[in-house]
Amino acid sequence: MVDVFWYLPTQGDERYLGTKIGRREATYPYMSQIAQAVDQLGYGGMLIGTGQKQDTWIVAASLIPVTQRLRFLVAFRPSIMSPSLSARMAATFDQISQGRIILNVVTGGDAEELAKDGVFLSHDERYELTDEFLTIWRSLMHGEEVHFSGRHVKVEGAKLQFSPVQKPHPTLYFGGSSDAAIEVAAKHTDVYLTWGEPPQQVAEKIAKVRRLATEHGRTVRFGIRLHVIVRETTQQAWDAANDLIKYLDEKTITAAQQKFGRSQSEGQRRMVELHKGNREQLEISPNLWSGIGLVRGGAGTALVGNPDTVAARMLEYTDLGIDTFVLSGYPSLEEAYRVAELVFPRLPLNSLPTVKSQSEFDPYNEFASASNSTSNLLQPQPTAS
């Protein structure tokens, strides 16, 4: 069984990359519309990213009362908040939402972006800080009184005065491709989240994390962050992929690639290596397209194809050990519906929607639905627990 999450574009949404044509601002009504659609369609959760965009915690908290079952994968940076404050915020959110928070620990990133938040640590120093942060955070969530003095973080007599709903604590997601990152993931986190690399590279990462986690006496689950471009036919899907980047010019691509090249992130370096800025070599693995990474930092690959093909490629990742997919598309609202309609019926989902078939033409209905599963109406049902 797998979970499929969606992504909330708190930085704004797009129809085409590299242009303002068709751009949508991240207004609260629009973000609420996406969240409610994702909730009703049967997605297991929604990622709300961090960075120079609308505040992750505030956006997530504001969406609690307008959703019913949706879990919020809240991204945050240990380098800009204390572990004690983070533990209180997470436990508070967990209580108010009745167990609907998940945490995505973000250590890496662009040095220029981090400097805007007053963070001037080196790559490895940030992971040292994260190690100390999570040591304290997990102890607090277990109800312990913590006295800790590390190189980067120090607390005296810290204690969480109330408990989260989820025991022992909300699930911790964590990503990073460097040796320092993988060591922290193996030691502390519940789910290791990789960007969408070809299956062989993902398999190598999973094996490495599993081995290190075993050395720490732990087990770790695995997730993958991908975009999706799915259409009823393969040709339509590839046409949509090419349409997404039709306004990109070489100047825009070169500027983006130069910026990515300055990043300290090993994951970002690996994303760039997949295509090397060449728009003529974007299918890096069967149906895995790196066109988004030409100008978008972070997750830069998409699964492209018809519903059967996209589902098959996802199941190839599950065979490697992936059990959570964090997906997105452009624009977010329409693609959330499209993925749920076309791909969900082909996956063994934990939060499987009920499919209502309309196999016969109804002359009194304004719309006639085909009998095949790709045109069925989706009705959500409660998440299996």
Where do the domains of the chain lie, and which CATH numbers do they carry? 3-346 (3.20.20.30)
pLDDT digits (tens, 9 = 90+) for 337-351: 999 999 999 999 986
Average pLDDT, the chain: 90
| pLDDT band at 225; cut points 50, 70, 90 | very high
Q: What is the pLDDT of residue 189?
A: 95
Q: What is the pLDDT of residue 272?
A: 74
Model confidence at 11: pLDDT above 60 = yes
Model confidence at 175: pLDDT above 90 = yes
Q: Give the whole-angstrom CA distance, residue 155 versus residue 149.
A: 7
Q: What is the pLDDT of residue 134?
A: 98
pLDDT digits (tens, 9 = 90+) for 33-89: 999 999 999 999 999 999 889 999 999 999 999 999 999 999 999 999 999 999 999
When pLDDT is averaged across residues 222-238 and rounded to a whole number, the result is: 98
- Cα angle for residues 266, 77, 109 (degrees, 5° grid): 25
CA 359 and chain centroid, separation: 36
Q: Give the whole-angstrom CA distance, residue 109 versus residue 267.
A: 9
pLDDT digits (tens, 9 = 90+) for 251-300: 998 888 888 777 777 777 777 777 776 777 899 999 999 999 998 888 89
Three-class DSSP category at 215 = helix
Helix ranges, 142-262 (H): 179-188, 199-215, 234-244, 250-261
Q: What is the pLDDT of residue 352?
A: 58
Q: What is the pLDDT of residue 9?
A: 97
Preceding omega of 65 cis (within 30 degrees of 0) = no
Model confidence at 368: pLDDT above 60 = no
When pLDDT is averaged across residues 117-130 and rounded to a whole number, the result is: 94
Q: Which of 248, 251, 318 is nearest to 290 (CA)?
A: 248
Model confidence at 354: pLDDT above 70 = no
When pLDDT is averaged across residues 101-121 and rounded to a whole number, the result is: 90
Model confidence at 242: pLDDT above 80 = yes
Q: What is the pLDDT of residue 112?
A: 84
Model confidence at 13: pLDDT above 70 = yes
Q: Going by C-beta distance under 8 Å and a sequence separation of 6 or more, which residues neighbour residue 5?
A: 43, 44, 45, 46, 47, 73, 324, 325, 326, 327
* Neighbouring C-beta atoms of residue 154, cutoff 10 Å: 13
One-letter identity of residue 279: R
List strand residue ranges (DSSP E) for 196-286, in order: 221-230, 283-285
| pLDDT band at 372; cut points 50, 70, 90 | very low
Higher pLDDT, 21 or 299: 21
Tokens of 332: 């977010």
* Neighbouring C-beta atoms of residue 378, cutoff 10 Å: 17
Secondary element (H or E) of residue 132 = helix 123-141
Q: What is the pTM of this model?
A: 0.89
Q: Give the whole-angstrom CA distance, residue 296 versus residue 213.
A: 31
* Neighbouring C-beta atoms of residue 67, cutoff 10 Å: 18
Q: What is the pLDDT of residue 353?
A: 55
Q: What is the pLDDT of residue 277?
A: 65
Three-class DSSP category at 349 = strand
Q: Which residue has the tokens 């993958």?
A: 224
